[in-house]
Chains A and B, each alone.
Chain A
Amino acid sequence: MIPFELAEPKSLTEAIKLLAPDDAMVRPIAGGTALMLMMKAGVFHPTRLVSLGKIEKKYSGIAAGKDGLRIGAMTTLSALEQSLDMKKLAPVITRTLRTLSNVRVRNVATVGGALAHADPHMDLPPVLIALGASMSIAGPSGERELAVEDLFTGYYETVLQKNELIAEVRVPSQDGTRAAYMKVTTGSADDWPALGVAVALQSDGNAVKSARVVVSAATSKAMRLPGAEAALAGQRIDDKILARAGEAAANEADFIADVRGSVSYKRELLRVYIGRAVRAALESGAH
């Protein structure tokens, strides 16, 4: 890798001051698993990296409260995977993490990095969007709240300003939610997926009151599918309803082709996987 300067501030506030609002070559670094790959591949040449490794400890812990869980942005994916609070609140996250990369990467990669990196193939964003998670974003003029579903603007792009940091992720209580995440890997089992689908349902047995449905990997960013959600809401689930929801999803998602599949292939995958994910959620039992 080419040389760069490394700053290791002791606080989040100090880190924000070391970032540069107009310079894309100055970036925060958390676990570094994504950034190191980009630097090694020569696609990113920073002049300065601002390490979040030494900021306040409170940003690397998980706290359970009445209204859900607060996860510090520097919490590692391993800590999240092993968190009993997380497993109780939303076992779908625990399950998702088991097939997210490998133990070594999870030991180092952080929740903040897993969101800010904004690679549409990543697993946590669709699940967090389905669960209605939000973030606290810290910048020079204080903190603001942002829903995870409003974070992504495109392929590797977010609404974050260059001098803003994700400070915390909040997953609200999931009383009665049934959720599932499915990823379709077309190469080897641990390859990046051609499609990710996350669903979170409020339901009474087979009768769905409301649904949140999110697609990822097949599209340039993780996004909700309102047409599919509407096709499921207020319905008793059967093959006809699932076919209708799959059809709505296939029509509304904005697919992109890549080495893992063409647009038409991904459209067919989504059409089918909407139904599989809904059934998996219904079978998963309520959170």
Chain B
Amino acid sequence: MTARTIHFTLNGAPVTADIKPHHNLVELLQTHFGLTGARESCGQGLCGCCTVLVDGRAVSGCLFLAVRIDGTEVVTIEGLDAGGKLNPMQEAFVETGAFQCGYCTPGFILMANQLLDAHPDPDDDQIRHYLSGNLCRCAAYPQIIDAVKLAAKKRKTIAA
């Protein structure tokens, strides 16, 4: 089927891509832009490894038609350390050791950022609610929850 040209903002920079209607967002990021932070694992919306922010909201890239990002702002894990400095959530994951293999980490970090945007001071319930759709096969869950709380503190210090 015929390719079409889409324009969007990728990690802050305006970009263009020629894509086919049946490609999903993960395929687009990997094949056109060499970004592999969002990766397809379950492919069914369940695990969160393919998380991408579209206009600030987390979506499963594996279930998202790439053409739909025409005109939107897309942020992937690769866009978080703008200017060479890790984002507070990334720092917090490193400091608390909130991963083992790291396969799930980009998804957790992006989702946790959306959580803190909505609830700057989340309780355990809110953390679990937002992260219930992210799976970590290494089961780093306790440290992940610690990381989210630490990042919330870091963000407050930065804002103060």
A-side residues, CB < 8 A to B, are 1-6, 8, 29, 32-33, 36-37, 39-40, 49, 51, 53, 78, 98, 101-105, 107-108, 190
B21-47 to A contact mask, C-beta < 8 Å, 1/0: 110100000000000000000011110
* B60 CB contact (under 8 Å) in A5, A6, A49, A108: A108
Chain B, residue nearest A37 (CB): B44
* B65 CB contact (under 8 Å) in A2, A6, A101: A6
Query: Given A6-B67, A37-B63, 20 more contacts at CB 8 Å?
Result: A1-B22, A1-B24, A3-B22, A4-B22, A5-B21, A32-B65, A32-B68, A33-B60, A36-B65, A40-B44, A49-B21, A51-B68, A103-B114, A104-B45, A104-B51, A104-B59, A105-B63, A105-B133, A108-B60, A190-B132
Structural contact, B60 and A32, CB atoms closer than 8 A = no
Q: How many A-B residue pairs have CB under 8 A?
A: 80
CB-CB under 8 A from B144, the residues of chain A are: none
Interface of A is mostly: mixed
- Report the interface size for chain B: residues with CB under 8 A from the other chain: 29
Structural contact, A102 and B45, CB atoms closer than 8 A = yes
Q: List 25 A-B contacts (CB under 8 A).
A: A1-B22, A3-B20, A5-B2, A6-B21, A6-B22, A6-B65, A6-B67, A8-B67, A29-B65, A32-B68, A33-B45, A36-B24, A37-B63, A51-B67, A78-B57, A98-B129, A101-B133, A102-B48, A102-B132, A103-B130, A104-B133, A105-B45, A107-B59, A108-B60, A190-B133
Chain B, residue nearest A2 (CB): B22
User: What is the CB-to-nearest-CB distance from A104 to chain B, in angstroms, rounded to a whole number?
Assistant: 5
Structural contact, B57 and A107, CB atoms closer than 8 A = yes
B58 on interface, CB distance cutoff 8 Å: yes
- How far, in angstroms, from A51 to B24 measured CA to CA in the complex? 15
Structural contact, A5 and B133, CB atoms closer than 8 A = no
CB-CB under 8 A from A29, the residues of chain B are: 65
B-side residues, CB < 8 A to A, are 1-2, 20-22, 24, 43-46, 48, 51, 57-60, 62-65, 67-68, 111, 114, 129-130, 132-134
Chain A, residue nearest B114 (CB): A103
User: What is the CB-to-nearest-CB distance from A39 to chain B, in angstroms, rounded to a whole number?
Assistant: 8
CB-CB under 8 A from A36, the residues of chain B are: 24, 62-65
User: What is the CB-to-nearest-CB distance from B5 to chain A, in angstroms, rounded to a whole number?
Assistant: 13
Structural contact, B59 and A108, CB atoms closer than 8 A = yes
Structural contact, B48 and A40, CB atoms closer than 8 A = no
CB-CB under 8 A from B22, the residues of chain A are: 1-4, 6, 39
